[in-house]
């Protein structure tokens, strides 16, 4: 199993299970099936609304002796309405209680965007708090405290661009060790990846299969379908693999972590098999040539006229 090494020599399995949109009623089976199939890394978040059910699956896996806590790498994320310094540890403790764990391996600031405490999902500009009023560096101080308290082993961020990372790096005691961002052949983020490498920050690729079909108002018409790409299909055919496996394998070959979501037992089993696939330099180059700079998750839901954030301020 490929791993990413952290500064203290802890190793994170590069391949993991995503759980966004893994509905209650199905995520329990997904997590248990995945662990039985050899998954050792689960990617969670408070806002996914399913951590309790994931916790039930984890605790059963421990009780049945399938794995021990030390065998697993569990990541979760701080939601945007708990960025105030006093709210971070309570939010983390809620996640730990829901997941039935004593500690997380990795805790991430989910977005470089702050919401008012009473707001779960943003619907108007008044829901937002600007970074001038609540900077990421203040939230980070509480993330550092979480490490000191032994509640988390490692801390990092998600959806951070270079500017936000630089700000955090120069204003922190513990440097972020992970940036979890969208990355796949149509949106490779090569520039951000090499910036992160230079700074000793690992990158986790989310939406590696092009994310799920979205029915929301931000979905673009004629959205390109990564899983139906002809080059990917061609490479898959030549390896007797599926397109999904090629996309996962490509992310692993690039040295990133990758966390495809599935609640389907067949696809859960299929996705981890991608670890066995070897891609040649030529395969890698053909896939690299597919970049369209196309984001599936645009972040537009944070942006309102006269609001605290612009796409430029979020992604740059
Ligand atoms: P993915 O790119 O992982 O795609 C998931 C979709 O692909 C689901 O519809 C799934 O359906 C389907 N699928 C899974 N395996 C295969 C396969 N082998 N062949 C064909 N279809 C397949 O999208 P996500 O957006 O879920 O991203 C992955 C994870 O990344 C999330 O679950 C979450 O943990 C994390 N994430 C983090 C974000 C952040 O802001 N930090 C944002 C977005 C995602 P089915 O379940 O039926 O198999």
pLDDT digits (tens, 9 = 90+) for 255-268: 999 999 999 999 99
**215: confidence class by pLDDT, cuts 50, 70, 90:** low
For every residue of 52-103, DSSP letters joined together read HHHHHHHHHHHHTTS--GGG-EEEEEE-GGG-SHHHHHHHHHHHHHHHT-S-
How many whole angstroms from 106 Cα to the centroid of ligand 1?
20
User: Which secondary-structure segment (H or E) carries 17?
Assistant: strand 17-18
Kindly indicate the confidence band of residue 212, based on its pLDDT and cuts at 50, 70 and 90.
confident
CA dist., res. 112 & res. 100, Å (int): 27
CB atoms within 10 A of CB 242: 19
Check whether 243 has a pLDDT greater than 90: yes
Q: What is the mean pLDDT of the chain?
A: 97
| Cβ 127 under 6 angstroms from ligand 1 | no
Does the pLDDT at position 222 exceed 90? no
* Whether complex ipTM tops 0.90: yes
pLDDT at 156: 98
Closest atom of ligand 1 relative to the 213 alpha carbon: 9
> Is the minimum distance from the CB of 271 to ligand 1 under 6 angstroms?
yes
Tell me if 242 CB under 6 Å of ligand 1. yes
What pLDDT band is residue 272 in, cutting at 50, 70 and 90?
very high
Pairing relationship of beta strands 202-206 and 114-115 according to DSSP bridges: unpaired
* Structure confidence at residue 104 (pLDDT): 99
Confidence tier at 218 by pLDDT (50, 70, 90): confident
Ligand 1 pocket: which of 158, 261, 272, 273 to mutate (most atoms within 8 A of CB)? 261
Smallest CA-to-CA distance from 201 within 161, 152, 241, 249 is with 161
The domain spanning residue 247 has which CATH number?
A: 3.20.20.100
**pLDDT tens-digit profile of 127-186?**
999 999 999 999 999 999 999 999 999 999 999 999 999 999 999 999 999 999 999 999
Could you tell me if the CB of 76 is within 6 A of ligand 1? no
Distance 129 CA to ligand 1 centre (A): 29
What is the predicted pLDDT for the residue at 217?
Answer: 72
Between the CA of 237 and the centroid of ligand 1 the distance, in Å, is 22
Q: Is the CB of 212 under 6 A from ligand 1?
A: yes
Half-sphere exposure of residue 130: CA atoms within 13 angstroms, side-chain side: 9
pLDDT of residue 187: 98
Instruction: Report the candidate in 207, 255, 211 with the shortest Cα–Cα distance to residue 2.
Output: 255
Read off the pLDDT of residues 21-36 as tens digits, 9 standing for 90 and up. Answer: 999 999 999 999 999 9
Confidence (pLDDT) at 219: 74
Average pLDDT over residues 80-94: 98
Question: Which of ligand 1's atoms lies nearest the C-alpha of 208?
Answer: 2
Catalytic choice (48, 186, 296, 309): 48
Residue closest to 41 by CA, chosen among 275, 199, 279, 266: 275
Q: State if residue 260 touches ligand 1 by the CB under 6 angstroms criterion.
A: yes
> How far apart are the CA of 307 and the centre of ligand 1, in A?
30
The yes-or-no verdict on residue 214 having pLDDT over 70 is no
Residue 48: active-site member: yes
pLDDT-derived band of residue 47, with 50, 70 and 90 as boundaries?
very high
Distance 75 CA to ligand 1 centre (A): 16
How far is 289 from 250, CA to CA, in rounded Å? Answer: 12
Domain that holds residue 120: 3-315
Write down the pLDDT at residue 292.
97
Question: Residue 256 is encoded by which pair of tokens?
Answer: 């990133």
For a mutational test of ligand 1's pocket, the pick from 29, 111, 211, 236, i.e. the residue with the most ligand atoms closer than 8 A to its C-beta, is: 211
Q: How many domains, the chain? A: 1
Q: Whose CA is closest to 161, among 304, 311, 47?
A: 311
């Amino acid at each position: 199993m490929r791993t990413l090494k952290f500064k203290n020599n802890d190793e994170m399995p590069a391949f993991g299970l995503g759980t966004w949109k893994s509905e209650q009623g199905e995520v329990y089976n997904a997590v248990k099936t995945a662990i039985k199939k050899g998954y050792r890394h689960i990617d969670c978040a408070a806002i996914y609304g399913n951590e309790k059910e994931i916790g039930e699956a984890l605790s059963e896996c421990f009780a049945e002796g399938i794995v021990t806590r030390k065998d697993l790498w569990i990541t979760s994320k701080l939601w945007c309405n708990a960025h105030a310094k006093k709210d971070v540890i309570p939010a983390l403790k809620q996640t730990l209680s829901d997941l039935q764990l004593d500690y997380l391996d990795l805790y991430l600031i989910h977005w470089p965007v702050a919401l008012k405490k009473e707001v779960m999902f943003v619907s108007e500009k008044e829901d937002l708090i600007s970074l001038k009023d609540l900077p990421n560096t203040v939230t980070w101080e509480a993330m550092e405290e979480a490490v000191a308290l032994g509640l988390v082993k490692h801390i990092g961020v998600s959806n951070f661009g270079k500017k936000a990372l630089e700000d955090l790096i120069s204003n922190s005691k513990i440097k972020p060790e992970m940036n979890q961002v969208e990355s796949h052949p149509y949106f490779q983020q090569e520039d951000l990846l090499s910036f992160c490498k230079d700074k000793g920050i690992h990158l986790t690729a989310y939406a590696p299969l092009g994310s799920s079909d979205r029915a929301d108002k931000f979905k673009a018409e004629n959205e390109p379908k990564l899983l139906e790409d002809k080059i990917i299909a061609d490479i898959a055919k030549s390896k007797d693999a599926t397109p999904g496996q090629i996309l996962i394998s490509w992310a692993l070959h690039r040295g990133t972590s990758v966390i495809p979501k599935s609640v389907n037992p067949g696809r859960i089993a299929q996705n981890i098999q991608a670890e066995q696939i070897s891609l040649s330099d030529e395969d890698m180059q053909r896939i690299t040539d597919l970049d369209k700079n196309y984001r599936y998750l645009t972040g537009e839901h944070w942006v309102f006229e006269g609001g605290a954030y612009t796409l430029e301020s979020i992604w740059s």
